[in-house]
Structure 1
Amino acid sequence: MPLSRRSLLAGSLGGVTAAALTACGSEVTDPVAGQSAAVPTEPTTITWWCHRLTDRRNGELAPLLIAAFERRHPQIRVRLLKAPSDTDTNRATLTTQIASGSPSPDVFLGDVVWPGQFAYNSLALPLDPYVPQGHWKKYPKPLIDACSAEGGVYALPFFIDESFLYYRKDLLAKHGLRVPRSWEELAHTAAKVRRAGDVGHGFVWQGSVYEGMTVNFTEFLADAGGSVVGPDGSTVTVGGSAGTQALSFMRELVASKVSPSAVTTYIEQDTLDAFISGRSLFLRNWAYAWGASNAEGTKTAGRVGVVPRPGFEGREGSGRSGLGGWSVFVNPHTRELGGALAFARFLSEEGQQVLLRESSYIPALTSALNSRTARQLGSPVLDNARTLELVARPSGTQYYPKVSKALYTGANSAVGGSASVRESLSAMESEVRAALKGAVL
């Protein structure tokens, strides 16, 4: 499948210059043309760009994955390149390096919202030609949709991240209250326990001016039966009745003091700190919070329950989760195509069992998540993960950062009270529409 180089400037990808794009001339051919996609039989070394992944003991997971791969393919050596932990810095560094034509790294991990940008700007290899027919059916459809752009799939799923509702089971028992089955019941329960003086906050979640607010808003929007864009990916639908219900409820959580006003500054770690210190009854957070909230020495150890997020009363269904996680990309300039593909596929197939045994990450491979090994672990996060409806962000566009900024800025303004719900939704709608066209916001 031939690659075409497009301008990175329109996508605002980490300050890459136009000169870097045209250094090789206006005619760009497929850099992997002529290379074999077969697993190499001769000694080969590839590089893997990977941020810190942790095992169950908070140690390094990447070396365990590399060791498992090298046992399977002893002729291929994998050299680990440590990526920045900050996602934006990670992305900016990669885009600059790959856009310059660098063959390294051969394989890299990327956020689930990267494929649109990376595909459009020829920063990732299209993978459909290198996998068997029907391969993508091994993974949840929303995840493959998120890995797709420009008419193809540009990343192999590695692990999923899903959000859950964490709660203090000891405090609910003390007050004779059940786990809430709707958002309205959660607000009532939180207010009651808070008035009793057992917690300072009823419910904490991520509402700062960043990507986490985008995820929270799109989750509530889906709970209300809505979406940011329509099925065609270009019709903006965020400003309808569902948007009003979702954003009004988020605003009311703060206005009624169920959530603290400081929630408009909270990112994941802030909410986790508030919960494990005993200051909040409920927490919305990702899968990692299960282990963190039960860690030895925390006030919540042994006192935490976890369930899927509830839904709104009168709306069908619950248990929705924003789709998070990381996927495996192959550098379109790799000079070790066979080795790179072998390692990328290992991470998304055989390596999924390593994830299960050695870490708390949720495997992307459906058969791994449903395996006997996964069920024997007795993890309530894994058990609940099988039932969740995944809500993807509208990341198929190369302009996704602009779309996300429009969403998290508008939602934060409404929740914080600096703009009305109506004003915020109107701004979101016009700014998302402009962002999808690549306009400067």
Structure 2
Amino acid sequence: MTLSRRALLTSAAGVAAAGLLAGCGGRNLDDLLAQAATVPREPARLTWWVSEIPSRRGAVVADLIIRAFERRHPLVRVSKINALSTSDGNRSAIATQLAGGSPQPDVYLGDTTWPAQFGHASLALPVETLLPSGFWDAFPAALRDSSTFGGSAYAVPFFIDSTYLFYRKDLLAKHGLRTPRSWEELLHTSRTVQRAGDVETGFLWQAGVSESLTANVTEFLADAGAEVLDARGRAVLGGAEAERAFSLMADFTAHGVSPRTVATYKESDSQDAFANGRGLFLRNWSYAWVNASNPKVSRVAGRIAATSRPGFEGTGRSGVSCAGGWSNFVNPSSQELGAAMEFARFCAGSEVQRLLAQEAGVIPAMTSVLSGPQARAAGDPTVLRAAGLRLVARPVQTPYYPQVSKALYTPANAVVRGSLSPAAGVRAAREGLRTALEGKAL
């Protein structure tokens, strides 16, 4: 069977079975998979679309990985294509290039929210049959969930991002307060320290109209025990649990624990405010530790700590983190499919995963590495705590995920700003989700 390339996120009308959406550009899928299953025995050249990987000790991490791969496969040479630094910008740029049938890059690094979109749009090779038996046992279940669409994986794990509660340990100690074990306790602790005049803001997070807020909403809903989509991909958001999550977001600003400007914040805004000493608590991704603990750029270095996010009182649920991160995708139009697939597998293997723990300011995707000597030597609390988190995937199992995300973050932002009640916000989100899943939303 041959498949023509479709524009990213177009209607599914006329699409073949989901498991065969491989971006073949008129080439036979079985032939492509056969080529990808064969490691080349002749010289080959690969291109890898990769953004800058945070480094702990100044090394260019991507170059270290390439050199390690070339030592293992001396006939293959890999060169980098520098990708954009933002997920949305990257998605647009790479989708445009691949939709034109370009054979390069052979492998591209992409967000964990992309697999369904790129698989549906025929911009990524289905790799499930190209992975060894038991492959996914080495990685968090949420990562497999987000990598899969229509019964096949379209991405190979590289590194994960997890979220944490960063806090001023010096201020908690000054007031004899413990690290909050619930959101209700965090609200009380924040007001206590704020009233004492020791900090401007209690809780910094990301409530701007963007994907950043969708990640937060996903976590708050999981904290409360609410679902967004069911196993069949239908919108099921609603009920007391969902309203509890939306009410918490409203409480942060209504009680002055978060500033009104949090409704414009993305990750960098909240991170900068925390590093400048303006916040008691910060919810952010693991990479925020590298910045906040660096005395060259942070006023609070040496006075902070990190722990898992709290939960709601009485639920028994805490330590929830949105499953973020980056995976490698194989371009189905690549002329070096065997080498490309081998490189993607190599990046998911133990050698590279240990290298990430030692050299990169990211969390390796392989679970066993998180308790290994490289992770312990790094001394990064976000790496050391990663294995104990409850990772939850965003509702990415649909090719209409950008519209689904918008259906969540738009009413949630209105709730934070106070222009919608929590109950009205949940209703608006549910209706928006249904429209998005029908492919009718912009």
Please give the range of the TM-score, normalised by the shorter of the 2 chains.
Answer: over 0.9
Aligned counterpart, 1:265: 264
Aligned counterpart, 1:170: 170
- Report if aligned partners of 1:5, 1:121 keep a CA contact under 8 Å in 2: no
Letter in 2 for 1:365: M
- Structure 2 residues without counterparts, runs of 5 or longer: 13-22
Instruction: Identify if the C-alpha distance between structure 1 residues 12 and 372 changes in structure 2 by more than 3 Å, giving closer, same or farther.
Output: farther
Distance 2:69 2:8 in 1: 37
Instruction: Identify if the C-alpha distance between structure 1 residues 92 and 218 changes in structure 2 by more than 3 Å, giving closer, same or farther.
Output: same
1:207 match: secondary structure: coil
Q: How does 1:33-432 map to 2 (within 5 A)?
A: 35=35, 37-234=37-234, 236-297=235-296, 298-349=298-349, 350-432=351-433
Following TM superposition, by how much is the alpha carbon of 1:36 offset from its aligned partner in structure 2, in angstroms?
Answer: 5.8
Distance 2:158 2:178 in 1: 36
- Report if aligned partners of 1:243, 1:425 keep a CA contact under 8 Å in 2: yes
Instruction: Identify if the C-alpha distance between structure 1 residues 414 and 40 changes in structure 2 by more than 3 Å, giving closer, same or farther.
Output: same
- Report if aligned partners of 1:147, 1:155 keep a CA contact under 8 Å in 2: yes
Letter in 2 for 1:412: N
1:35 match: secondary structure: helix
Distance 2:360 2:24 in 1: 45
Instruction: Identify if the C-alpha distance between structure 1 residues 62 and 139 changes in structure 2 by more than 3 Å, giving closer, same or farther.
Output: same
CA RMSD, aligned part only? 2.0
Following TM superposition, by how much is the alpha carbon of 1:25 offset from its aligned partner in structure 2, in angstroms?
Answer: 12
- Report if aligned partners of 1:11, 1:117 keep a CA contact under 8 Å in 2: no
Which stretch of structure 1 is more off in the superposition, 252-261 or 70-79?
A: 70-79
Following TM superposition, by how much is the alpha carbon of 1:146 offset from its aligned partner in structure 2, in angstroms?
Answer: 0.4
Give the alignment's TM-score, normalised by structure 1: 0.93
Deviations 1:363-398 (A, max 9, x none): 101222232322343321112111000011011100
Distance 2:216 2:361 in 1: 22
- Structure 1 residues without counterparts, runs of 5 or longer: 14-23
Deviations 1:110-162 (A, max 9, x none): 10000011111111001112122221211111101100002101110100100
Deviations 1:36-90 (A, max 9, x none): 6222222111110111112113553211111111112111100101111122221
Letter in 2 for 1:74: P
Following TM superposition, by how much is the alpha carbon of 1:320 offset from its aligned partner in structure 2, in angstroms?
Answer: 0.3
- Report if aligned partners of 2:155, 2:329 keep a CA contact under 8 Å in 1: yes
Following TM superposition, by how much is the alpha carbon of 1:268 offset from its aligned partner in structure 2, in angstroms?
Answer: 0.6
Instruction: Identify if the C-alpha distance between structure 1 residues 177 and 27 changes in structure 2 by more than 3 Å, giving closer, same or farther.
Output: closer
Deviations 1:301-334 (A, max 9, x none): 1100110000000111200001110001000111
Answering whether residue 436 of structure 2 is matched by residue 435 of structure 1, we say yes
Distance 2:38 2:432 in 1: 46
Following TM superposition, by how much is the alpha carbon of 1:440 offset from its aligned partner in structure 2, in angstroms?
Answer: 2.6
Instruction: Identify if the C-alpha distance between structure 1 residues 26 and 291 changes in structure 2 by more than 3 Å, giving closer, same or farther.
Output: closer
Letter in 1 for 2:256: K
Distance 1:25 1:334 in 2: 10
Distance 1:26 1:375 in 2: 46
Following TM superposition, by how much is the alpha carbon of 1:194 offset from its aligned partner in structure 2, in angstroms?
Answer: 0.4
Following TM superposition, by how much is the alpha carbon of 1:168 offset from its aligned partner in structure 2, in angstroms?
Answer: 0.3
Distance 1:333 1:245 in 2: 47
Give the share of equivalent positions with the same residue, in percent. Answer: 49
- Report if aligned partners of 1:32, 1:334 keep a CA contact under 8 Å in 2: no
